[in-house]
Amino acid sequence: GKHRIVIPCLGHFKEEYEKVSKLYMNNKIRTTRYTLLNFLPRNLFEQFHRVANLYFLFLVVLNWVPLVEAFQKEITMLPLVGVLTIIAVKDGLEDYSRYKMDKQINNLVTKVYSR
């Protein structure tokens, strides 16, 4: 398999490195954006930063007002829910592939050379 080689060059910063390194548990790589607990709220937060999604949300809210109601309330929600669902699935799959790549990189055998 592949190996990573890490060569530390501490020099006169060795004491400082030892103090700082005690604060960290490990050096695993994590490039994923989401966890299982924060996927839905964080994904919705990111999606509603897009102007088009805010526009469709405005139409949905406006359609709940009885004086302005143009369509059935459920029909107005369909485009927004469809787009949000498709983008959430795409983001979830991309994040899962990042998770698998991180796991593969973190499980590589590493050699550390020190003086």
pLDDT at 40 over 90: yes
> Confidence band (pLDDT; 50, 70, 90) for 37?
very high
Among 28-32, 33-37, 38-42, 66-70, name the one with the lowest average pLDDT.
Answer: 66-70
Give burial (CB, 10 Å; 0-12/13-18/19+) of 1.
exposed
H-type helices in 26-72, by residue range? 39-47, 51-63
pLDDT by residue (tens digit) across 47-101?
A: 999 999 999 999 889 888 888 777 787 888 898 999 999 999 999 999 999 999 9
Max intra-chain CA distance, the chain: 78
